[in-house]
Structure 1
Amino acid sequence: MSREWTLTGATTEYTVGLPEHGGWLELRAWGPHGVGDGPSPVAWLGNAQYMTPGDVAPVEYAPDGARPFAGPDLVVRPARALSWTFDGASHEGELLRVDFADAATGLRAALHYRLAPDSDVVERWVELTNTGGAPLRLVEFGSAGFSVPTPHGARLTYLSGQWAQEFTPATTELWRGRFEIGSALGVTGHQFSPYLAVQDAADAGPTWGVALAWTGSWRIAAERDAAGLTRVRAGRVAVDWPLTLAPGDTLVTPVAAGAYSADGVDGLARVWHAYERRLAGDRLTRTRRVIYNSWEATFFDVTAAGQLALAEVAAEIGVETFVVDDGWFVGRGDDTAGLGDWTPDPAKFPDGFDTFVGRVRELGLEFGLWVEPEMVNPRSALYEAHPDWVYQVDGRPRTTIRNQYLLDLGRPEVEEFVHSTLDGLLRGYDISYLKWDFNRPRTEPGRTGVPLDEPDLDGAHVAALYRILEALRRDHPHVTVEGCAAGGGRVDLAMASRVDVVWPSDNTAPIDRLRIQDGFLRAHAPHLMSSWVTDATGLFDVRPRSLAFRFVLASAGVLGIGADIRHWSAAERAEAARWIARYKEVRDVVTGGEVHRIGGPDGARCAVQYTLGGRVVVLAWNPGPLDGLGTVPARPVRLPLRGLDPSARYTAGGVTYSGAHLMAAGLPVRWTGTYDADLIEVSPAS
């Protein structure tokens, strides 16, 4: 018996087949339309010396026993191995389901695939059901294995970092062995993004990508074998203990997404951007409004008078939404107290919080609020009333990070508290923007009074988080939700489908932020990327840049301002107003357009081109030294554009060019000591 199924996307196809033995599913071809018309590029020939066929085959999802030496995707105890048999399949439109069963344990596995006709991202997940009479322990339960042909070695591109230095691109070549990234923090994490790009080491064109839609602990691992196949495994991990699957229970793994582009890592980024726009659905059509956030201006020193002074200047320069950050609620004079007591502080808002919000609205601004609802300070009324609501191991001390504990959101009463608190704020005040922060990972793997090996803490927390976000979006569709986790610690495909924007980093300094945003755009779309203009000087690169540089940089996604604008001069405020007005003219192109990165922060040229319909917007920066510019012979930096009509004529900055010139020679920019960035519109010549 041999069967094949092909899923067809916009420009990509994905074909899987069932071998004669029926013990697993194999990849036959993955790439552009027509790639499956011929011998499989991932098939293996010859004998599996000292190995088994499963160890060298392009297995889609491998149970323990199918790949005894190369490693499985699913490990179940007490069984020492699983012997799967094919148990049926259904293929309807963009959905494919292939079922397997293990007679000895009663475990059933349904492999799910989805590839929409307007997408080039294949979604994969597994549904595991225990139909036997005894509990099963899931030691490994990945979502998918993706096989990529890499005959000359694998070039792997990933995003790493730390707080204030997120989304740093890195590349490594893997000739043999294993490469792994992940998080054991109970959250996506700052250290790695759940994203990996794979290319053959001899070809920078065809590129395959894998990403994971999961906001808890996770792993992505790439293994290259002697026959030239790189297999990428992706899924959540049980960092505390194996999960128990009781008789009759079902576990659904997170979606692992696979993408393909013929145009390298930059082309792969455009595939991910299109996918994330698809995840946003109707909410993508909502205008990303220019925000002001008060954090870097006032920190915890929040008062009605001080915030209104900021709001008045914000309205004057063209801001559309004013967001009050941390420090607005009772007990919150610093980071040692108050979290959990989400009541506006009457001492800070003596005329009432609703009156304060009304005054902000009278300035023509929408109103937003910062919250960190999964956290609690030991010094708070909430913790005093419910000390058992935090993660803890009986008999052991509790760990504080940033003077706070993490609430066990998987407890139904905690989920209800968080949801009702946020829902109450949104119903009680005229709020249209909610910044949801998360400033510490989980440390204690336990729940009061519950055996350590029972609850799926990671899965329960994430599931509750998703339910709350989905309920808020359903009941308050006008509210824009920003996801934040001490910067970019909770950015993944699952969050991209449930929030409107994300905060890539707490580092807002110009050159530092340029590098962070360059990495972010390799994996995530600009409509998600919140960015602020601030007065920050830099943590890793302190070279000064102009206010124009900062505005052009923040205009690369969703524009915000976080500086203390009360102290800006009249000239700076006027310049800010001009930049905000320019951003409003092009933001639909920036947030919805096709993105082409030109060069990068460490090169001679650094720009991003956005194209939507017939409109082209180029944001360009000089990330290099400014001294000496214009004093010796030099030629302009050239920015080669993409996707223009070579025979058409275009204007940019009052100069007319042919499309061929702009793509081959490039758009010229001549930087000076005071001119270090620009936003350039390229329009068809009349």
Structure 2
Amino acid sequence: MTQWTLRGATTTYVVEVPQHGQWARLVAWGPHAVADGPSTVAPAGTVHFLPPADIEPLEYAVRGVRYAAPAELVVSGPDGNDECRPVFVAAAQDGDHLELTFLDELRSLRLVLHYRMSAELDVVERWVSVHNDGSAAFTLHHHDSGGFVIPTSGGAYLRYLWGEWNSEFQQAAITLPRGRFTIDSRQGITGHSYSPFLSVADADDPSGTTWGVQLAWSGSWQLSADVDTTGQTRIQAGRVPSSLGLLVAPGSSWVSPVAVGACSTEGPDGLARAFHAYQRTFARERTLSHAVAPKVVYNSWFATEFAVRADHQLELARRAARAGVETFVVDDGWFTGRHDDTAGLGDWEVDPAAFPQGLDAFIEDLKEVGLGFGLWVEPESVSPGSELAAKHPEWILRTEGREPLLVRNQLLLDLSRDDVAEWIWETLDRLLSSYEISYLKWDANRPRLDSGVHRDLDGQVVANLYKILERIRTNHPGVLVEGCAGGGGRVDLGMAARVDTLWPSDNTAPLDRLKIQRGFLTGYSPHLMSSWVTDAEGTHDGRERSPDFRFHVAMAGNLGIGADLSKWSDDQLAAAARHVAQYKDIRDVVADGLVHPLAEGVQYVGADRSVVFLWDTGDGNIRGTLPTRPRRIPLVRLDPAKFYRVGDEVHPGSYLLQVGVRWDGTTDSTCLVVEALD
């Protein structure tokens, strides 16, 4: 047998192909030491009743090799059966990238398993490519990116993120001693219901070594955990199987999305940090560039909704500048025909009634008060009565012969069409070239449910979406792009690699939002987390929190303000300015620091200082009728031999690690900077 090792920062991934060459199997995945001895996932004993492939820790299972256990690839051809038996023919390893090639001569199908593991990270990227080297087409009925074997013996403790609009990224867990657990989205978009994220620990040690899998895909997706009769767990990750199947024509190829696996001996919080480190590599060069460093934004939506008027927007902008905001974003309602949510989408021309002096003049006014300019768009959607819909009815996504499905008073453009993709690019390019725009908020406010006419509609739509986002980054490198989809409906690794920040939820109420952000950070980095201060009441928890609490929640990500500032007093604006000034001082630590959840907050650990947010949610003493004493919150990752300044106090690191920082309990939140002294 032949074996290959991929070595990350603290973890190792080892795969081998047995002498018979019928499959690749996992040898070890975990901390470096797991590669120093016998395999932790190899089956023992005699196999009865089933063929060996059904219990082997296969890296990628194909029907025809595996029968009774789940398979990642199911293929049918002109012969009418759905079996395939590719055999190993070649391997190529170049640095951190490994390719294992298998060939089924009968189908002329070439299957390549791709791996990539950076030595600086603890994630392994996996994907497959399927090539048709023959003269007859075949169809992919099931087409996952990979199968991840997790060495559990006591069953699986699974953590996942679920939700709905206005309540995304809720944390949940389930113990699965045997059987199958699946989460997915069949909406043509990542969706609000579940996040393409699944973590696994041994059910006997839920807080111990934890593995996780995410999928870099912004269409329909599926993650499944299967715990076999021995207690071992296997996660399948990939696109949702198409009911029609994906046709691979002679001479063509199909490439899966990337599935990303990570492992940490520091439990689920360590797993989150492993994913954060990986996601930060997407934007490292951009975030280090001053031109696209995250800015404090003000967004006008909650203040004006569709009633956009240049004079009112400028009034808000002047007050936002007093609060220390850096970029003013005009949200929905700036274009012709857009007076409510029933019209205007697709007709992306500046409404002269909203901006009688033109948008250029408004941008110049913003520059005079020291603000950059941002704009909201929803380029994939179209209103039924728009000029675009009348001019190009063939561009509207529909199931052939049927009326298109109307959701939230809007239809979708068929982004699988190259002419539609080109029109969207040209529209955005025109706006970004014609106006001095430094921030683009890309929204998507409905699922994609019509079948369309493209056999691989989901694949082509996502491919074209990614191409447009990549063209924006290439042709307009100074424009920061925010990804939004009716809140957190399109948060995934595919978008994280192509935008600069993501909008987790339309719910901005402080207690609701705190729970949403805690869930978001289990899978996604804080540098991606856009968070605003608004006046919103809670959807689920309406207990009032102070303005300080609202700011401290928002400062734990990319700070923005979305309140109606025309109703804020001078004292409120002055308080906001103090918070914004503090955020500007700490935002590099928030964006790049190691995230450590605390008992009542979170600590972001930087190279020489930490930022600590503490929040009193009021769950314990809701009425505040009982006396309290100052609390001490122990911190993490400090040098016990050094001294640290915390506000006006100085303490040794040993004290802060064992006893903690003092929280006097007279406020419902605080933000502390813990700085090492020379």
TM range (shorter): over 0.9
**Counterpart residue number, 2:618:** 624
Partners of 1:318 and 1:668 in 2: how far apart? Answer: 29
In the TM superposition, what whole-angstrom CA distance separates every residue of 1:307-361 from its partner, at most 9, and x where no partner exists? Answer: 1010010111110000000000000000000000000001111111111111112
Indicate the residue corresponding to 1:488 in structure 2.
488
CA change 1:111–1:626 in 2 (3 A) is closer
Pick aligned residue for 1:128 from 127, 130, 148:
130
Equivalent-residue separation in structure 2 for 1:534 and 1:145 (angstroms) = 43
CA deviations over 1:567-601 (Å, ceiling 9, x no partner): 101110110010000100101111111110113xx
Segment of structure 1 superposing worse, 29-38 or 327-336: 29-38
Between stretches 233-242 and 137-146, larger displacement belongs to 233-242
Write the distance in 1 (CA, Å) between the matches of 2:363 and 2:175: 54
Which stretch has the larger CA shift, 258-267 or 196-205?
Answer: 196-205
Conserved 8 A contact 1:324-1:369: yes
Other structure's SS at 1:234 match: strand
1:292-331 residue pairs with structure 2 within 5 A?
292-331=298-337
CA RMSD of aligned residues (A): 1.3
Please identify, of 294-303 and 662-671, the stretch whose mean Cα deviation from structure 2 is larger.
662-671
User: How many angstroms apart in 1 are the aligned matches of 2:323 and 2:124?
Assistant: 44
Q: Distance in 1 between matches of 2:14 and 2:603?
A: 34
Which residue in the other structure is 1:684 paired with?
A: 676
C-alpha contact (below 8 Å) 1:209/1:259 kept by paired residues: yes
CA distance in 2, matches of 1:90, 1:310: 59
Aligned pairs for 1:480-629 (under 5 A) are 480-599=480-599, 606-625=600-619
Equivalent position of 1:245 in the other structure: 248
The 10-residue stretch of structure 1 (583-592 or 355-364) with the greater mean CA deviation from structure 2: 355-364
CA distance in 2, matches of 1:663, 1:332: 55
**Structure 1 range deviating more: 428-437 or 400-409:** 400-409
> Which residue number corresponds to residue 450 of structure 1?
none
Cα distance in 1 for residues equivalent to 2:31 and 2:82: 39
CA distances 1:378-424 after superposition (whole Å, capped 9, x unpaired): 01000011111121113322211110011111101100110000000
CA distance in 1, matches of 2:74, 2:197: 24
Name 1:650's counterpart in structure 2: 644
| Match runs of 1:270-281 below 5 Å | 270-281=273-284
Partners of 2:618 and 2:65 in 1: how far apart? 53
Cα shift at 1:630: 7.0
From 359, 362, 365, the counterpart of 1:359 = 365
Which residue identity lines up with residue 537 of structure 1 in the other structure? E
Residues 43 and 55 in structure 2, CA contact (< 8 A), matched pair in contact too: yes
Structure 1 residues without counterparts, runs of 5 or longer:
448-453, 600-605
State the secondary structure of the residue aligned to 2:36. coil
Measure the CA separation in 1 of the matches of 2:627 and 2:529.
38
2:384 partner SS: coil
What is aligned with 1:468? Answer: 468
Q: Which moved more, 1:386-395 or 1:500-509?
A: 386-395
Report how many residues are paired: 671
Tell me the TM-score normalised to structure 1 length. 0.96
Give the letter for the 2:606 counterpart: L
Shift of 1:47: 1.9
Counterpart among 387, 411, 425 of residue 431 in structure 2 = 425
Query: Residue type matched to 2:34 in 1?
Result: V
Distance 1:626 1:314, change over 3 A: farther
Correspondence for 1:388: 394
* Structure 2 residue matching 1:14: 3-state secondary structure: strand
CA shift for structure 1 position 67: 1.8
Structure 1 residue 625: Cα displacement = 4.5
- Give the distance between the partners of 1:318 and 1:611, measured in 2 at CA: 25
- 8 Å CA contact retained: 2:244, 2:455: no
Quick one: distance in 1 between partners of 2:474 and 2:5? 35
Secondary structure in structure 2 of the residue aligned to 1:34: helix
Instruction: Return the match for 2:258 from 244, 255, 260.
Output: 255
For 1:174, which of 167, 173, 176 is the aligned residue?
176
Contact 1:217/1:239 (8 A) holds in 2: no
Residue 560 of structure 1 aligns to a residue in which SS? strand
Bigger CA drift: 62-71 or 479-488?
62-71
How far did 1:636 drift? 2.9
Counterpart residue number, 2:45 = 46
CA offsets 1:367-387 (integer angstroms, 9 cap, x no match): 000000000000100001111
* Residues 628 and 665 in structure 2, CA contact (< 8 A), matched pair in contact too: no
**Which of 212, 215, 225 is matched with 2:215 structurally?**
212
Question: Runs of at least 4 residues of structure 1 off by over 4 A?
Answer: 625-631
Work out which of the residue numbers 147, 159, 162 in structure 2 matches 1:160: 162
One-letter amino acid of the structure 2 residue matched with residue 563 of structure 1: A
2:288 to 278, 285, 310: 285
SS of alignment partner, residue 47 of structure 1: coil
Relative to structure 1, the CA distance from residue 429 to residue 628 in structure 2 (aligned partners, 3 Å threshold; closer, same or farther) is closer
What is aligned with 2:72?
73
Deviation for aligned residue 1:230: 0.3
Shift of 1:664: 1.9
Residue 147 (structure 2) aligns with? 145
Q: Distance in 1 between matches of 2:419 and 2:669?
A: 51
Change (3 A) 1:239 1:362: farther
Please list the CA deviations of residues 616-650 of structure 1 after superposition, one character each: whole Å capped at 9, or x if unmatched: 11011111248677754433333221101122222
**Equivalent residue letter for 1:653:** G
User: What is the one-letter code of the residue matched to 2:82?
Assistant: R
Q: Kindly state the Cα deviation for residue 425 of structure 1 after the two structures are TM-superposed.
A: 0.2
Q: How does 1:329-408 map to 2 (within 5 A)?
A: 329-408=335-414
Deviation digits for residues 415-451 of structure 1, max 9, x if unmatched?
011000000000000000000000001111023xxxx
Paired residue for 1:602? none
2:657 pairs, out of 657, 663, 673, with: 663
Question: In the alignment, residue 25 of structure 1 is paired with which amino acid?
Answer: A
Per the TM alignment, residue 661 of structure 1 is displaced from its structure 2 partner at its CA by 2.1
Q: Rate the CA distance shift 1:363–1:15 in 2: closer, same or farther, 3 A.
A: same
Q: Distance in 2 between matches of 1:628 and 1:106?
A: 68
Aligned partner of residue 472 in structure 1, secondary structure: helix
C-alpha distance in 1 between matches for 2:355 and 2:218: 36
Secondary structure of 1:523's counterpart equals coil
SS in 2 for 1:618: strand
Q: Partner letter of residue 189 of structure 1?
A: G
- Contact 1:435/1:481 (<8 A) preserved: yes
Q: Does 1:442 align with 2:436?
A: no
Q: CA deviation at 1:685?
A: 4.4
SS at match of 2:237: strand
Q: Which moved more, 1:12-21 or 1:256-265?
A: 12-21
Which is further off, 500-509 or 610-619? 610-619
Tell me by how many angstroms 1:281 deviates.
2.9
2:4 matched residue in structure 1: 5
Within 2, Cα distance between the matches of 1:467 and 1:173? 40
Partners of 2:225 and 2:413 in 1: CA distance: 34
Q: Give the Cα–Cα distance (whole angstroms) in 2 for the partners of residues 624 and 666 of structure 1.
A: 21
| Runs of 5+ consecutive residues of structure 2 not aligned to the other structure | none
Take 2:368 and 2:3, find their aligned partners in 1: how far apart are those partners?
63
- Give the Cα separation in 2 of the matches to 1:373 and 1:517: 27
The one-letter amino acid paired with 1:680 is: L
Secondary structure class of the residue paired with 2:272: helix
- The answer (yes or no) to whether the contact 1:183–1:218 under 8 Å persists in 2 is yes
Please give the per-residue CA displacement for 1:165-218, whole angstroms capped at 9, x wherever unaligned.
101010000000000011111111101111111000112210111000001111
Q: Is the 8 A contact 1:214 1:254 kept in 2?
A: yes
Q: Deviations over 1:49-77 (max 9, x none)?
A: 22221111110001112220112100001
Residues 625 and 31 of structure 1, relative CA distance in 2, 3 Å threshold: closer
Percent identity between the two aligned chains: 52
3-state SS in 2 of match to 1:142 = strand
How does the TM-score come out when normalised to structure 2? 0.97
- What is the DSSP-based 3-state SS (H/G/I as helix, E as strand, rest coil) of the residue aligned with 1:427? helix
